[in-house]
Amino acid sequence: TRRSSDLIPVPEGLRYSIRHLSIAISPDGQTIAYVSQEGLYARRLDNAEPELLVMSDEIAVPFFAPDDDWLGFAESGVLKKVSLGGGAVANIPSGKLVSDWGDVAWGPDGEVIKGGSGAIQPILRSGEPEDLTTLEGDMEVFHGWPQVVDDRKALVFTVGGPSGLWNDAKVVVQDLETGTRTTVVEGGTFGRYVDGYVVFVRGDGAISAVPFDLGRREVVGRPFTVESGIRVAYWGGGGGFAVSETGTLAYVGGSDWANHVLVWVDRQGRRLGRVGRPMTVEPMHLSSDDRWVTMYVARPGNSDIYRFDTETGEEQRLTFEQATNDNPMWLPDGRIAYRMSVSGGDHRIYVRDAVGANEPVVAYSSNDIIIPEAGSPDGRWMIVTELDPDTGADLYAVRMDSSDTVVPISVSPNQESDASLSPDARWLTYVSDETGRNEVYAVAFPAMTGKLQVSVGGGSSPKWAATNELFFVNGDTIMVTKVRTGNLFEREVPRALFVSSEKFRTWDVASDGKRFLMAVRNPDALSREVHVVLNWLEVLREKSAGQRGQ
């Protein structure tokens, strides 16, 4: 087969998050949509110039309507639509996402099928919200990347495992009339049915396919590789490709393992310097002397805890198990707490020396996902977030000398997380969405009484400096308030410190409150072109025939 392909340059670089997609293709294969730094673009393949449909830097998950006339997308957590012919943007009814990832499909009758947009999330149908899938057991953490097939009788989707990585995910097909599931492939993600095959990706950037009889809901062959060099979101498993009903493939190349660079900025948001090499970074924490930062670094099939010297960029790997190690934090005594997830849905929080011969010890374990958040200076308490299947993210205080002693901090149907302790450990701050948006709250610790709202107009990721300043995030703005603690919690009105000119993924504040370490977007990791293969179905069939002949 002669491969007919093309490259589409992307203005200002195609944005590809670790959690969501940035590319879509119309059912007729004639129009490519993508999200760049400037906004939402669409380009017909017979037109050399792309059209900027919506200008915004908060857009994600573009998706086409079945009739090719409308393009849906998420902006700041709300699902919207715009005509490909141009015009005003409109909200999609019942189109609110928990967050801007998880993928969306537009069904034939106008309903929106939403993938799980957070942990412990099934796939939902819009309108009168209805769960289309049910999470089964501790190994199923979210359902995502839905595709409605077989005349609305079946659903292809990805079952995400405890790590959130592709290696403990699986692609399934569910009959929507009977609820019966067929597992198509283990250790794969982002499944898409096309013309007798389910195609999917793995973390190594390969598109693979397996023959599938849709009518019988049955795998009828062995998986084989079709393409390589596809960008795959390491967390959540989104694949950087889209394929139309007519067999046109569009994909984004590159790697998702160097999305960020670490930079120091001052209280005006000005860069002071860069730390180490580019990498993909998840939550990080500075040591009390600001010399070291601990974080987990994801790689295909695994994630491990590292510590980095903030002065020299030297890195030290601290975990070596064949497991998912993530969400590390420094305890006040200089030890590191982190989560380990192993097969069977077993989640443990370990505590270990940053350096030294002592073996890590288990501080807390659960069948649910648990995340260490903060530790008290006296070493008696650790604050953890636990993801309950019924109530979502809840906060607990765990006695370090007796993990059987667990005190609820905030347990409700609302989502509570991002806990931190004031320098004197008298007050605990955390984030809750109980008002319909994230805000920062404070309670006396360890009594868990005297609840107060700290932020006004939105807030997340609260962090304390030794100066008794409390910093938090509102959009792209770093906010600050001076706090007096003791028996009372008295704060000044929060004010904007600076607006970050760079998108940052995670951050922390130095103990003196004068510098901030931020993981900002790596400009060299942005994809700058979309690959288009016009006769990809022929390529797929030829590869399949070659695989059968072996």
**DSSP letters of 240-261?**
SEEE-TT--EEE-BS-SS--EE
pLDDT in the model for residue 98: 46
Distances (CA, A) of 391 to 177, 236, 383, 415, 416: 28, 21, 18, 8, 10
pLDDT of residue 91: 86
Instruction: Say if CB 44 and CB 69 are below 8 A apart.
Output: no
Closest residue by Cα to residue 485 from 431, 420, 426: 426
Instruction: State the Cα–Cα distance between residues 343 and 345, nearest whole angstrom.
Output: 6
What count of other Cβ atoms lies within 10 Å of the Cβ of residue 147? 20
The count of other CB atoms within 10 Å of the CB of residue 74 is 28
pTM greater than the 0.85 cutoff? no
DSSP 262-318: EEEEETT--EEEEEEEEE-B---EE-TTSSEEEEEEEETTEEEEEEEETTT--EEE-
Contact call for residues 263 and 275 (beta carbons, < 8 A): yes
Q: What is the C-alpha separation between 333 and 353, in angstroms, rounded?
A: 10
Low-confidence ranges of the chain (pLDDT < 50): 1, 98-101
Look at residues 77, 76, 62 and name the one whose alpha carbon lies nearest to residue 16.
62
Kind and range of the H or E run holding 528? strand 527-533
Q: What is the pLDDT of residue 358?
A: 86
Question: What is the predicted pLDDT for the residue at 237?
Answer: 77
Report in angstroms the alpha-carbon separations of 372 from 22, 97, 317, 396, 528: 31, 26, 19, 10, 37
The pLDDT, as a whole number, for residue 526 is 77
Please tell me the distance from the alpha carbon of residue 224 to that of residue 548, in angstroms, as a whole number: 10
Residues 297 and 289: beta-carbon distance below 8 Å: no
| Residue 7, H or E segment | strand 5-14
Could you give the dihedral angle defined by the CA atoms of residues 531, 537, 543 and 549, in that order, rounded to the nearest 10 degrees? 180
Q: What are phi and psi of 543, to 5 degrees?
A: -65, -40
Sign of CA dihedral 79, 84, 88, 93: negative
In sequence order, what are the residues at sequence separation of 6 or more whose Cβ sits closer than 8 angstroms to the Cβ of residue 292?
A: 286, 307, 308, 309, 310, 330, 354
Q: How many Å apart are CA 412 and CA 433, to the nearest integer?
A: 11
Q: Which residues pair with 213 in a beta bridge?
A: 218
In total, the chain counts a number of residues equal to 550
**In Å, what is the CA distance from 289 to each residue of 184, 311, 373, 404?**
50, 12, 19, 32
Q: Are 381 and 446 in contact (CB under 8 A)?
A: yes
Retrieve residue 370's tokens. 């648990």
User: How far apart, in whole angstroms, are the C-alpha atoms of residue 514 and residue 252?
Assistant: 39
What confidence tens digit (pLDDT) does each residue in 284-298 have? 899 999 999 998 876
Cβ atoms 297, 307 nearer than 8 A: no
Whether the bond into 446 is cis, omega within 30 of 0 = yes
Phi/psi of residue 523, nearest 5 degrees: -65, -25
In which element (H, E) is residue 400 found?
A: none
DSSP 175-215: ETTT--EEEEEES-EEEEEETTEEEEE-TTS-EEEEEEETT
